[in-house]
Amino acid sequence: MLFHKKIAGLEISPGQIRVVELTKVSPKPKLINLGSAALPVDVIKDGLIKDPDVVSEALKKLWRETGIKTKDVLLGLNNQYVVVRVANMPKSDPSQRDKTIRYQAQEYLPVPVNSVELDYLVIDEDLSGKPNEMKVMLVAGGKNMIQDHVNVIRKAGLRVMDI
């Protein structure tokens, strides 16, 4: 599980911030709080935060109004700077997998790999009829966009635990 006690799931999108607070209860997390706050439409444009102060203050106010206690945040991002691709890639030794996937990823991304934060999940290592391939889900997000979101969250006194 991604957290020990409580965590907030956060999405900052054009016109709105949404948050849920979860607590760890075996075997599944339990929803204990949720809320949303409106943002002026021009504060976030094309996935980029244009006015960090407004977003930061809105986050602080949302935390106060909802009574969310945790400062730990899992950030969800969904905009044009986030790319998700599923690709068949050469199967590799687990010790070399990270290097291999990062090298191969450039074929599947519309931007240079060094301009994004890249993560992946091996979905299937046993492709029928393709013994030398594995199916991988690639998730890439623009470095500058991610850093802008992280900075505004930190400015609100919160900690980004994962994206």
pLDDT band at 117; cut points 50, 70, 90: very high
Q: Which helix (H) or strand (E) holds 59?
A: helix 52-66
How many residues are recorded in the chain? 163
Which residues, 6+ apart, have CB-to-CB distance to 120 below 8 Å?
101, 105, 136, 137, 138, 139
Domains and CATH numbers, the chain: 6-78+144-162 (3.30.420.40), 82-142 (3.30.1490.300)
Task: Report d(CA 162, CA 42) in Å as an integer.
Answer: 27
pTM for this entry: 0.86
Q: Share the mean pLDDT of the chain.
A: 92
What digits encode the pLDDT tens for the residues 20-45? 999 987 778 899 999 999 999 899 99
Which residues, 6+ apart, have CB-to-CB distance to 84 below 8 Å?
137, 138, 139, 140
* pLDDT for the residue 1: 46
For residue 127, pLDDT beyond 60:
yes
What digits encode the pLDDT tens for the residues 44-85? 998 899 999 999 999 999 999 999 999 999 999 988 899 999
For residue 156, pLDDT beyond 50:
yes
